[in-house]
Amino acid sequence: MADEKVYTQETIQENPLPITEGVVSFSESSSSSKETYSQSTVKEQSIPTKKIAVELIGSALNTKSRKILQEFQFTQMGAIQIGKYESGVSGDLRLSPNGIVARNSSGLTTFAIDGDTGNAVFAGTVQAGTLISGAVVVGDNTIVIDGENKRIIVNDGTVDRILIGLG
């Protein structure tokens, strides 16, 4: 064990700060114009405080659960698109003054509501507790439930075969 090295800490000598017995002047004089220039004094400034929008985030949005907690007002805009359509990956939803359109990842329109006419198209099941309608047309217009005229018509494509109600 003669090859072992022993390490001891190094002692650092104290170096006192330079003694400042006077105020150092940074004035500079110009011999040609006989004017004296000196460094100006900067007023004390406080450290700027960080401003955080606590009111909006804390009371209106929950960023952890990603939920909207209160009502927001929208400004008048051209349209809103939610999501980004990527074929085979994701669909999107578009809201505009002309209506609402949603499509799935295959690019098929799953529902659409026309803002001008009120016409609606749904690709899936429509379920409601109550349906109030003037007429319900099934398929290619061969079955019609006509609430306004109080009748049900079943047609074979040429002739009305079943007529229930007033003719």
| Alpha-carbon separation of residue 165 from 68, 128, 132, 152, 160 (angstroms) | 51, 25, 19, 7, 13
pLDDT of amino acid 23 = 57
Query: Is 68:60 a contact under the CB 8 Å cutoff?
Result: yes
pLDDT of amino acid 124 = 92
pLDDT of amino acid 21 = 61
CA angle 83, 87, 91 (to 5 degrees): 30
pLDDT of amino acid 138 = 87
What pLDDT digit, counting tens, does each position of 14-59 carry?
Answer: 877 776 565 555 555 445 556 666 677 878 888 888 776 555 566 7
pLDDT of amino acid 91 = 94
